Amino acid sequence: MTSFVDVCAFEDIPNGKHRAFNVDGLSILIFRINPDVFALENRCTHLDFPLEGGRQIGSDIICRKHGARFDIRSGKAVVGPAVDPLRRFEVRVREGRVEVKPSMPLSRNPFVRAAS
């Protein structure tokens, strides 16, 4: 059974910002949109460019490479050139700590294409 992995303190992520962490070999972005946190893979689905440092506007993040825009809450690509959604991960806050389930991507959402 996959368990949650401690990543950082909730206070380590300023509201409206994000930070990247290496969790079990995966680069995962933790976003804070008060009072919620979200965990997405740090990899643009257009050409695999890291999303860390991209401009965060409300609940969207913009890829620095070609400007694709993703909805942080759903992972969905809302502006191209990216089409596929970002991988999302289960995340929670317990006793002031952010915890992620790195091997449990929420990939069964309707936006993810089946592997061919």
In terms of CB distance, is 70 or 99 closer to ligand FES? 70
Residues lying near ligand FES in the complex (CB under 6 A): 44, 46-47, 49, 63, 65-68, 81-82
Sign of CA dihedral 43, 17, 99, 111: negative
| Cβ–Cβ under 8 Å, residues 32 and 41 | no
The CB-of-76 to ligand FES minimum distance in angstroms stands at 14
In terms of CB distance, is 46 or 73 closer to ligand FES? 46
The CB-of-5 to ligand FES minimum distance in angstroms stands at 26
Angle at 37 between CA 34 and CA 40, to 5 degrees: 140
In terms of CB distance, is 75 or 101 closer to ligand FES? 75
The CB-of-97 to ligand FES minimum distance in angstroms stands at 30
The CB-of-68 to ligand FES minimum distance in angstroms stands at 3
Determine what percent of the chain falls in helix, strand and coil, rounding each to the nearest 5.
5, 45, 50
In terms of CB distance, is 82 or 100 closer to ligand FES? 82
CA distances to 53, 82, 111 from 60, in Å: 13, 14, 16
Q: Per DSSP, what are the bridge partners of residue 21?
A: 28
